[in-house]
Structure 1
Amino acid sequence: MPEIEHDYEALPENSPLTANLIAGALAGIGEHAIMYPVDSVKTRMQILNPTPQAVYTGVANAFSRIISTEGVRTLWRGVNSVVLGAGPAHALYFGTYEFCKDLFGGNATQGHHPFATGAAGACATIASDALMNPFDVVKQRMQVHGSTYRNVAECARAVYANEGLVAFYVSYPTTLTMTIPFQMFQFSSYEYFRKVLNPEGNYDPKTHVIAGGLAGAIAAAATTPLDVAKTLLQTRGNATDVDVRNCRGLLEAFRIIYEQNGLKGFFRGLRPRVLSHMPSTAICWSVYEYFKWFISSHDRNKIPIIST
């Protein structure tokens, strides 16, 4: 008699929740660790009123200047904070996404479901950003030019001692304002391109790379102004500008950015942001889909053939 078929896109019912959590954690660590140097350049280019040594004319110039004057290891400063936070945050992220996508009807095989996947992505980012935001603050404090923190623990202690617990979450509302539309763009675009490129729904690494890359580029470009504001808020403690140091929220950040740089200020770091998110999203989805397929195949092999 025929064997029971299970689509890897929806893990078998006998698969534990830890399947999605493990796949998500590995995807998040891989994504952030591999693309970290580009993220460091993006942070440097988004800083308002940088020191003369940290003024860059482009992505290539930033890489060249940082490596020649500060050493290649500078590009990896703070990576431990991301690795520590990305594992549990992405586990929560993908676990929430898969649960909500199924709950909202996004796993239906016929047609596209952008609202269901977009809403699931929004739920996922609300949960994961609450966990990741403090790690992101520490990461960016260590990425700025002139940072003297020797390790993640020292940076976290200093931020807490000087600015209190609120410093780790002052950017959280702005982060959500950015990441909710980002994830809605990303998940909707990814699911759309995945179904267009691979209507059969079989595991196909090339499809996941292309769909993930396109989704990351679209979402990153659309939300760059919000990312500039988030960087301002998360690095305000390092700023010499009084307005920046006292900035308390998104609208005030927008005002400062516009007054100091005009409309073009909202797109500082656009190129490295897209260059970072395009491959990192492709990596993230590829790793995640691979482990979903691997776990699904492993579970499927345990399912006995039903005979009569």
Structure 2
Amino acid sequence: MEAATVGVSNSNQGGGATVSYMNQKQQPQPIQLGTVPHLFAGGVAGAFSKTCTAPFARLTILFQISLKRFSGQTSCNQLQGMHSDAAMLSKPCIWREGLRIVNEEGFRAFWKGNLVTIIHRLPYTAVNFYSYDRYKNLLRSFTGLDSHPGNVASDIFVHFIGGGLAGITAASATYPLDLVRTRLAAQKNLVYYQGMGHTLRTICRDEGFFGLYKGMGATLLGVGPSIAISFTVYEMLRSYCHTKRPNDSTEMVSLACGSLSGMASSTATFPLDLVRRRMQLEGAAGRARIYNGGICATFRHIIRSEGFRGLYRGILAEYYKVVPGVGIVFMTYETLKKLLSDQSF
């Protein structure tokens, strides 16, 4: 991934040509890969990261989909195994919920639905990184920014728009797998969906083909800004680090910058992600329908019944997941790109 070029001016140093030469030396050179190795690097990075952080990913989903108060006379039986422990919600605790999972479902339950996650993340992250580089190059050519390198505002524009378009492209292409993963991860002891194939067939049978795209609007609204912020913060931080500390390990810089970029993007877009999860589970396993009217109605219902803080239910688990997760993605991606660039394809 090509880093943003940050111009550095210093009137006390020799001359403009010398400063320019030093900056060029300090900036990491973009690694060029063919389409297949590029997609491979992105896919493996995403799958590896998700596997490492799967326990916190499941905890995040369980906190997001839990309801503090139920509408009408909705009973636990109606939820048919979907998580809804009101006692846990009154004073949510990540560690207590983690112990509950271990005691009731076993340690392996932290990776429930992880196979679907890997199947989803392989194409998702591959398309995400690949399309980001393509959109970035297209934007630079289309806007004429190639002939004016070093402009920070222009670089931010390219990274933000390119990242947003890449996120929307990847999410649109792989959305049904994301919904299946959410349904599987949300189950407790009583299992309604038995594997990826059964979940796909059951959703199509009970909710129709378009049930596979339930909550997609909220997903695209969230993933566009999220990926845009993530790529922009990562690129600018990485460029800054390589300018100020050119001798630092590339892998460690990618890990640190990726972690910070993940925290920034998650904080900004977490409410939309929570709404997306709630909408994905509407009608799941015979669950009573609570949110009617789309994204805005879901937002209003959550704020009215759970307060504004309800929009950030599970944010701590999200940080535990995202901070290492996004860092691992970028570190693995950059490492694989470097390794693959030394091979002949």
Q: Under a length normalisation based on structure 2, what TM-score does the superposition of the two structures give?
A: 0.78
1:243 aligns with 2:243: no
Question: Counterpart amino acid of 1:157?
Answer: R
Q: Which runs of 5+ in 2 are unaligned?
A: 1-24, 68-82
Question: Larger Cα Rg: Structure 1 or Structure 2?
Answer: 2
1:38 aligns with 2:71: no
Partner of 1:158: 202
Change (3 A) 1:195 1:154: same
Q: Deviations over 1:128-152 (max 9, x none)?
A: 1012211111111111143512311
1:81–1:138 CA contact under 8 A, matched in 2: yes
1:294 aligns with 2:333: no
1:23 aligns with 2:41: yes
Partner of 1:217: 263
Partner of 1:10: 30
SS of corresponding position for 2:214: coil
Question: Counterpart amino acid of 1:115?
Answer: F
Partner of 2:166: 124
- Which whole-Å CA distance do the structure 2 matches of 1:129 and 1:233 have between them? 16
- Which whole-Å CA distance do the structure 1 matches of 2:333 and 2:158 have between them? 20
Question: Counterpart amino acid of 2:234?
Answer: Y
Question: Per-residue deviation at 1:201?
Answer: 9.7
Q: Map 1:1-308 onto structure 2 (within 5 A).
A: 9-12=29-32, 15-49=33-67, 50-52=83-85, 55-56=88-89, 57-105=92-140, 110=150, 112=152, 113-146=155-188, 148=191, 149-199=193-243, 200=246, 204-238=250-284, 240-244=287-291, 247-298=292-343
Q: Deviations over 1:189-214 (max 9, x none)?
A: 00011011112599711100000000
- Which whole-Å CA distance do the structure 2 matches of 1:211 and 1:73 have between them? 31
Partner of 1:305: none
Count of matched residue pairs: 291
What is the CA RMSD across the aligned residues, in angstroms? 2.4
Question: Counterpart amino acid of 1:95?
Answer: Y
SS of corresponding position for 2:30: coil
Identity of aligned residues (%): 23
Question: Counterpart amino acid of 2:122?
Answer: G
1:170–1:248 CA contact under 8 A, matched in 2: no
Change (3 A) 1:297 1:8: farther
1:44–1:54 CA contact under 8 A, matched in 2: no
Question: Per-residue deviation at 1:182?
Answer: 0.5
**Which shifted more, 95-104 or 184-193?**
95-104
Question: Counterpart amino acid of 2:264?
Answer: I
2:66–2:84 CA contact under 8 A, matched in 1: no
1:35–1:280 CA contact under 8 A, matched in 2: yes
SS of corresponding position for 2:173: helix
Q: Under a length normalisation based on structure 1, what TM-score does the superposition of the two structures give?
A: 0.87
Which consecutive aligned stretches of 4+ in structure 1 deviate over 4 angstroms post-superposition?
106-109, 200-203
Change (3 A) 1:86 1:9: farther
Question: Per-residue deviation at 1:44?
Answer: 0.5
Question: Per-residue deviation at 1:9?
Answer: 4.7
- Which whole-Å CA distance do the structure 2 matches of 1:54 and 1:76 have between them? 24
Q: Deviations over 1:206-237 (max 9, x none)?
A: 10000000000111111111111001011112
Question: Per-residue deviation at 1:285?
Answer: 0.3
Question: Per-residue deviation at 1:82?
Answer: 1.1
2:283–2:289 CA contact under 8 A, matched in 1: no
